[in-house]
Amino acid sequence: HIKKSYRTNGFEILCGHSFGGLAAINTFVSHPDFYNAYIAIDPSMWWDNQSIIDQMDRPWISDAHKGRLLFVAKANDPGSGDDHHNALLALNQKLIDFDNQANYKWKYEFYDMEDHGSVVVPAEYNALRFLFKGYQMPVKKAMKDPSLLMQHFEVISKRLGYQVIPDEALIDELAKVCIRREFFEQAKQLLMLNTKNYPKSVHADERYKTFIKEYDIQLKN
């Protein structure tokens, strides 16, 4: 339904809190191919006598886990009870025990100042920062050496498992800044990059041709 209703890029995240977090862990362990990334916020791992944690005693890491991302958040909430607290510690220990076998990336984060209810907002924020680690472009460096831009997105694409390309409008703006600073060769490379990444874009094609026509002398010099 989401794919039919919205423009998506194929990178899918399952995020859940409490029993929703339990569902996220269960899916990650049993059906890792369903999503690319999993966020479990203070998951109720105590459910059914920690049955999912017991399931992790048996071989469960498969080829389908390769490249998947997992973020687990634990709140400092004595009110949730010892069972909840101990089960989350047990989950963390399982992940640590299997770390040398893991073909996925994971992070477990403890929130000392948050309870079961308040942990959701900071955990979601930090989870997204973990999933999209390194996503921010090296803008200033890229204006001097545009090749760094594609190297950057190659790394991001490898981490996320799908091809990520820089936004056409942003690259266009970087080229404008380069022109103002008289970095003409760099501007040419950036505009050419847009024509390669967006071959159907009339704007990208016209911008590149107009630039070549207007700055031909500067490029030759």
Q: What is the pLDDT of residues 87-124, one digit of tens each?
A: 999 999 999 999 999 999 999 999 999 999 999 999 99
Predicted pLDDT at 99: 92
How many C-beta atoms lie closer than 10 Å to residue 16's C-beta? Answer: 20
Q: Please give the average per-residue pLDDT across 137-155, as a whole number.
A: 91
Place 146 in a pLDDT band, splitting at 50, 70 and 90: very high
Alpha helices in 72-138 (DSSP H): 82-97, 120-131
How many C-beta atoms lie closer than 10 Å to residue 170's C-beta? Answer: 13
The torsion region of residue 37 among left (phi > 0), alpha (psi -120 to 50) and beta comes to beta
Q: Please give the average per-residue pLDDT across 50-64, as a whole number.
A: 95
Q: What is the length of the chain?
A: 221
pTM of the full predicted structure?
0.87
Predicted pLDDT at 157: 93
Cβ–Cβ < 8 Å for 156, 135:
yes
